[in-house]
Structure 1
Amino acid sequence: MNTLNVTTDRFQRQSDLIPAERLSQLTATVIGVGAIGRQVALQLAAIGTPRIQLIDFDSVESTNITTQGYQVADLGKYKTSATREAAGSLAPEISITELQDRFRPRHKTGSVIFCCVDSISAREAIWRAISAKCEFFVDGRMLGEVIRVLAISPPAMQQYYVSTLFDQSEAHTGACTAQSTIYTANIAAGMMLHQFSRFLRRMPVDKDLSLNLLASELVLAPE
């Protein structure tokens, strides 16, 4: 199959789920390209997001191969660079830019934000900087086999998100040997992309979803 056919036909089976015209108008920013963020970036590329921005300051270490899906050849590279290469191989036609830095308020971002950082204080700083100028915001949180996804659109839901930004000292840390797995990260990313697809289809998003894999329990926060 030649490149033209891949570009033309590969979205056929998602066309009723991912509105291509609306997707084509958006730029998605992924802040934090670790366990969840890397999987989010790959899934965004796979569905054909035309412009993806990656923000992260960190480099690939050996533990990231197991829990974040990086390759041995990526060791020592910036996570943004390694993820850009992997996502670009899925969709050579899209534009992927990278910022090898922590998120800072001065950074220009897309109108769609995937927040994939690992601290409440970082989430709070990101939210303060971008809440007034993004169309869709989704935050993925993970500890062991427990996932929480918070999706915000429209602005009326913003106050609820603020209520989830508890003090960093109250965060559960868990044992260092039970913090992250690649399969949990993939599920979390999929849940975030699903909320994005709801936004694209102009459907209400779920403001707060929690999934406990060990307990086989999915909880949707009440309205």
Structure 2
Amino acid sequence: GRQLALQLAVMGAPSLTIVDFDLVEESNLASQAYLESDLGRLKVEATAEACRRINSSIALDIRNERFRRSTDVGNVVFGAVDTISCRRLIWESVKDRCDFFGDVRMTAEVIRVLTACDASGREHYPGTLFDQAEAYAGSCTSRMTIFGANIGAGLLLSRFSCWLRGLPTERDVVVNLLASEMTCQ
């Protein structure tokens, strides 16, 4: 999520809502590019500060809380969360309240970017959700690398950019960095 927020700030997003309940931990330094001075801070505050350094005019709504079904959302929602159960909660909560939904998933060097911004994507996305018990259970650093997070954020924002311009948007993009493979549908 941090990489999405930073790239949106660079792109000149006029406003951004950041929802996260977590604190910056040591494992977040290498995987999410937080600074050592951010250790122990709220992730939303550290991310908001970095966004403001990039784009001082961005209007930020930071919420130090878990996402809830009642959480207010805009017409664009990006999900970059740790668990598939949280993805399901977000999707079920926003699917009828937003025009563009994007989700970035990562396990080590495999990145998956999903969008639901048309009938095809909205039909496809629920089929990508599964039980939490089936999810990969490695450490944060084995699930995510900073270069993968940046690539995933960039891929999702490129799909968002296409949607904004009325261009076709792939609903499911998988990149395997180790194998140098990319598939789109």
Corresponding residue for residue 8 of structure 1:
none
Q: Give runs of aligned pairs for residues 140-159 of structure 1, distance below 5 A.
A: 140-159=104-123
1:193 aligns with 2:157: yes
| DSSP 3-state at the match of 2:98 | coil
CA deviation after TM superposition for structure 1 residue 174, in Å = 4.3
- Aligned equivalents of 1:177 and 1:42: distance in 2? 20
Corresponding residue for residue 219 of structure 1:
183
TM-score by length of 2: 0.96
- Aligned equivalents of 2:132 and 2:103: distance in 1? 16
Selected match of 1:134 from 98, 106, 121: 98
Q: Are the equivalent residues in 2 in contact too, given 1:152–1:205 (CA < 8 A)? A: no
Corresponding residue for residue 87 of structure 1:
51
Identity between Structure 1 and Structure 2 (%)? 45
Count of residues in correspondence between the two structures: 185
Corresponding residue for residue 69 of structure 2:
105
Q: Give runs of aligned pairs for residues 1-223 of structure 1, distance below 5 A.
A: 37-174=1-138, 178-221=142-185
Q: CA RMSD in A?
A: 1.3
- Aligned equivalents of 2:21 and 2:60: distance in 1? 16
4+ runs deviating over 4 angstroms: 174-177
Q: Residues 146, 93 of structure 1: CA spacing in aligned structure 2 closer, same or farther, 3 A cutoff?
A: same
Q: Which residue identity lines up with residue 213 of structure 1 in the other structure?
A: L
- Aligned equivalents of 2:151 and 2:132: distance in 1? 25
List gaps (5 residues or longer) in structure 1: 1-36
| DSSP 3-state at the match of 1:192 | helix
Q: Which residue identity lines up with residue 139 of structure 1 in the other structure?
A: D
| DSSP 3-state at the match of 1:107 | coil
- Aligned equivalents of 1:155 and 1:100: distance in 2? 33
CA deviation after TM superposition for structure 1 residue 125, in Å = 0.7
Corresponding residue for residue 20 of structure 1:
none
Q: Which residue identity lines up with residue 108 of structure 2 in the other structure?
A: G
| DSSP 3-state at the match of 1:178 | helix
Q: Are the equivalent residues in 1 in contact too, given 2:103–2:115 (CA < 8 A)? A: yes
Larger radius of gyration: 1
